[in-house]
Structure 1
Amino acid sequence: MSRPSPAIAPVPDEAPQPPAEGLSVQRIVAAAIAMADAEGLDGLSMRRVATRLGAGTMSLYRYVPGKDALIELMVDAVHGEERQAPPADAGWRVLLRYAARREWRLYSRHPWLLQTVATTRPPFGPNVLTELERTMQAMDGLGLAPVITHWVAIAVSAQVQGAALLLVSEVEEERRTGRTTLQWRADKMPAIREIIDTGQFPMLTRLLEEQDDVADIDAWFEFSLNRLLDGLAVFVESETRPPRTL
């Protein structure tokens, strides 16, 4: 699925940044995020972050207890990147779409983030909880039970995370093979067409005749998100409709 990929050039251990006036949690977290953006979480270590900062490894432990704690701080930091709020008078559908797109942009900028939050035990820092609260507030005033608004927030996030699996796998495959998805598709398309041209796949034949490149991941994400919101609209209407009087 073709789209611009985040920078994936490796961060060399041999080229540490000049040390500034002392370390801080913010500097450590920022360096770790930059490293994870470039290489993923597998190569992240306290030693490599220290080298990048021009510091000794043990000095980092004065600020961060270890790698797990560092990752939790990284997750919360990136969740606080976008400060702009949606219009105050927007309806629930606009607000949920806004929340979903904001989360989608997070995975676009930080592909490593998905594996840390798409779990039953995600990090819960203040920025993460702020995002959850904001998503739940989109349904405020509709008379829904708190557990339902929570489930709605989870459903929207799950929709984004499911789509982001493709987004992240694209980045990882490009990092692993050095080839873009467009290049991979160009290699595979002659064999695919040879199979389809047997006449056994009329629907796929029509698809390729109408649009050769159908793998726009952003357009597909918007389509799937809107269908989820359509379904929620039916649910909201049924839950908020006044009871019939006999």
Structure 2
Amino acid sequence: MDKQVVPRFSQIVAELRQRIESGELAPGDRVPSTREITRQWGVAMATATRVLTELRQAGLVRAVPGVGTVVATPADTGERAARRRRRNASEAALAPERIVAVAVEVADREGLAAVSMRRVAAELGVATMSLYRHVADKDDLLVQMMDRAFCDSPLPADPPEGWRERLELVARLLWAMFRRHPWLAPALSVTRPQPVAGAVPYTEWALAALDGRGLDVPTVMTAHLTLFNYIRGTAVSVELEADAEALSGLDSEEWMDSQESTFEEILATGDFPVLSRLTQTGYDFDLDALFEFGLQRILDGFAVLLEQHH
């Protein structure tokens, strides 16, 4: 029978372990550095590094800045073990739902740019790598975040009878969702739609409202996408406004007040008489009112389209 060959790094680890456990190397004593290991045992630097890593992971040594790697004391080992037990307990309690919920909270507060695997792990108090057992990468996390947002806003079991009432309801639910999660509208793509299972019922709802009313398939799909993209496009302003307010420290009204003199100089040229006359009467910008106005005009257009094919 062939004799089993023990890897060189394992031999070195075993020798240093024996010296530590026998007391030859006492707690606090320096152990051979990577350079010394390469010289004494005639191995490559990578092997020497692996030896010290193995000893650290076993709790036998620890790195001391300015000193080097030393034999760990019982207190070091106990504290490290306790930290490891706490971390393992936290990581064992992880669930995809918890990871996604924390990511959504961060995005709601600070925007999607603040969400990273490292940031979510820090919020959860776990190692970053532990997240990858539940989430493939940031793109996967984003899809799960979007799915969570849609699933938290379910459609009613019984839709209204009329096509217009049905589309009004789904549009307002989407608008409310985008208001709650300002990052969601910019994250959703129309040209490259993500596989968000929770969003499919919304699509089905809108398509069913228009299906069977005399329109061909391309027209039904185009009408649905037109309505969705209008809602999404208007909602993009929600995140842009939140970002602008965070950067400037001014809300939209305060910012407009700060720009008033510049706008007045432009209008004073007399080149824009209609704009000048209409703005003198005053206009209160309201994003919700803008959304509702546009929604009704789009549905008015759908009504004409359906009447033509009735």
Which residue does the alignment assign to 2:248?
A: 177
* Greater alpha carbon shift after TM alignment, 84-93 vs 101-110: 84-93
Among 69, 72, 76, the alignment partner of 2:140 is 69
TM-score w.r.t. the length of structure 2 is 0.66
Q: Deviations over 1:94-133 (max 9, x none)?
A: 1112122222122211111122213422222221111111
More deviation, 97-106/202-211: 202-211
Cα distance in 2 for partners of 1:53, 1:142 equals 51
Q: Distance in 1 between matches of 2:212 and 2:104?
A: 38
Within 1, Cα distance between the matches of 2:91 and 2:105?
Answer: 17
Paired positions, count:
222
For 2:167, the equivalent position in structure 1 comes to 96
Report the alpha carbon displacement of residue 163 of structure 1 after superposing the two structures with TM. Answer: 1.4
The one-letter code of the counterpart of 2:206 is: T
Structure 2 stretches lacking a partner, 5+ long: 1-89
Q: Percent identity?
A: 37
More helix by share: 2
Match of 1:162 among 223, 229, 233: 233
How is 1:46-57 mapped onto 2 (pairs within 5 angstroms)? 46-57=117-128
- Structure (1 or 2) with the larger CA radius of gyration: 2
Measured against aligned partners, the alpha-carbon deviations of 1:15-62 in whole angstroms (never above 9, x if no partner) come to xxxx59811111000000011111212221111101101111111111
Say whether 1:33 aligns with 2:141: no
Match of 2:308 in 1: 238
Aligned-pair CA distance for 1:155: 0.9
**Aligned residue for 1:59?**
130
Question: Residues 72 and 47 from structure 1, CA distance in 2 versus in 1: closer, same or farther, beyond 3 angstroms?
Answer: same
1:201 and 2:201 are equivalent in the alignment:
no
Which range moves more in the overlay, 53-62 or 143-152? 143-152
Structure 1 unaligned segments of length 5 or more: list them: 1-18, 241-246
SS at match of 2:294: helix
Secondary structure of the corresponding residue to residue 138 of structure 1: helix
Q: Which amino acid aligns with 1:41?
A: L
Q: Note the alpha carbon deviations across 1:136-158, whole angstroms, 9 max, x for none.
A: 11123413334332222111001
Provide the TM-score with structure 1 as the length reference. 0.82
The one of 142, 148, 155 equivalent to 2:213 is 142
Q: Residues 89 and 38 of structure 1: is their aligned pair in 2 closer, same or farther, counting only changes over 3 Å?
A: closer
How far apart, in 2, do the equivalents of 1:145 and 1:79 lie?
28
Cα distance between partner residues in 1 of 2:236 and 2:211: 30
> What amino acid is aligned across from residue 141 of structure 2 in structure 1?
L
Pairwise CA RMSD of aligned residues? 2.1
- Larger relative contact order (Cα-Cα within 8 Å, sequence gap ≥ 6): 1
